[in-house]
Amino acid sequence: AQSVTQLDSHVSVSEGTPVLLRCNYSSSYSPSLFWYVQHPNKGLQLLLKYTSAATLVKGINGFEAEFKKSETSFHLTKPSAHMSDAAEYFCVVSAQYSSASKIIFGSGTRLSIRP
């Protein structure tokens, strides 16, 4: 079985300050982990992915995430927030060998940026 928990439903930061969006996962198999971003009334865009290579993954728009197996976490960070980062962010876990529940989404974290 696999699951993913996004620990914050809403995060608000000031422009230019660091961003931390937290994600914990559970998986019976070696997981692939993803972060997707969704801007209002838009589709989902891949930010970054972890697929058992380097544990620190760099994505688009200055985001990065670190896979920590001991903590079963895959938190998303960015050193300096920009107004255009305001969006909904989804952590996703995918188990390569599981067909019953292959891709599981977290419930999402809404990121707000204060001027």
Partner 1 sequence: NAGVTQTPKFQVLKTGQSMTLQCAQDMNHEYMSWYRQDPGMGLRLIHYSVGAGITDQGEVPNGYNVSRSTTEDFPLRLLSAAPSQTSVYFCASSDDRGSENTIYFGEGSWLTVV
Q: How many C-beta neighbours within 10 Å does residue 75 have?
A: 18
Is residue 103 a contact residue for partner 1 (CB under 8 A)?
Answer: yes
34 bridge partner residues: 49, 92
Among 42, 68, 82, 114, binds partner 1 (CB under 8 A): 42
96 binds partner 1 (CB under 8 A): yes
Choose one: 11-19, 48-56, 60-68, 74-82; the region binding partner 1 (CB under 8 A): 48-56
Cα–Cα distance for residue pair 52/76, rounded to 1 Å? 17
Bridging pattern class, strands 23-27 and 2-6? antiparallel
Backbone phi, psi, residue 85, to 5°: -80, -10
In the complex with partner 1, which residue's Cβ is closer, 14 or 61? 61
Q: How far, CA to CA in Å, does 87 sit from each of 26, 46, 52, 68?
A: 25, 13, 27, 25
- Regarding 58 and contact with partner 1 (CB under 8 A), the answer is no
**Is residue 1 close enough to count as binding partner 1 by CB under 8 A?**
no
32 binds partner 1 (CB under 8 A): yes
Query: Given the rule CB under 8 A, which residues bind partner 1?
Result: 9, 32, 34, 36, 42-44, 46, 49, 51-52, 90, 92, 94, 96, 99-108
